[in-house]
Amino acid sequence: MAQRYMLVYQEPMPVEQLVQGVCDRKQGYTQFGGLRPYGVSFLFAGWDRHYGLQLYQSDPSGNYGGWKATAIGANHQAATSMLKQEYQPECDLTEATALALKVLSKSMDSTTLSAEKLEMSQIVLGADGELVYKLLEDDEVDKLLEAAGQTSAQQEEG
């Protein structure tokens, strides 16, 4: 879908248009009994020149909505509740990362967070206006856990 758009218009597909196309396809399968190949919720994160960074959530029926911060999966109610209370739109990358780690520590089925139990990535706009995607290494995740106060030693004390 996005490749076809790029071929025709010679520019990247707007994020919401891509989300709408995928969700229309998901919804189409709900019209026939027994078919639901996309029986999961999706989180779409993207950037386009029209609206900048965007986050969308879709459910298995094809409904979707835009969010500043949200969660899906096990314990998503607790995670979403915490995000509603503590998310600040003007937060920087460090604050957002610390909040994400706090939410994960409260909503995961694990007693302690460690780099072996989670993966983190960051998507930011570089100085040249290009998107930079970075998958963090285990040692970087451990440093972030420590800085956010989510290390195993500190969790055992608290």
Series of mean pLDDT values for 10-residue runs along the chain (158 residues)? 95 95 88 73 92 93 94 92 94 92 87 87 88 92 86 49
Cβ neighbours of 156 (radius 10 Å):
9
Residue 153 is predicted with a pLDDT of 45
Looking only at the bridges linking them, the beta strands covering 121-125 and 42-48 are unpaired
For residue 154, the model assigns a pLDDT of 45
Backbone φ and ψ of 78, nearest 5°:
-65, -40
Task: Count H helices and E strands in the chain, helices first.
Answer: 6, 5
Residues 6+ apart with CB under 8 A from 131: 47, 123, 124, 125
Q: What pLDDT is stored for residue 113 in this prediction?
A: 86
Residue 35 pLDDT: 67
| Per-residue pLDDT, 158 | 47
- Partnered with residue 132 across adjacent β-strands are 124
DSSP E strand stretches across 7-80? 42-48, 52-58, 64-67
Residue 113 · residue 153 · CB < 8 Å? no
Q: What is the pLDDT of residue 22?
A: 93
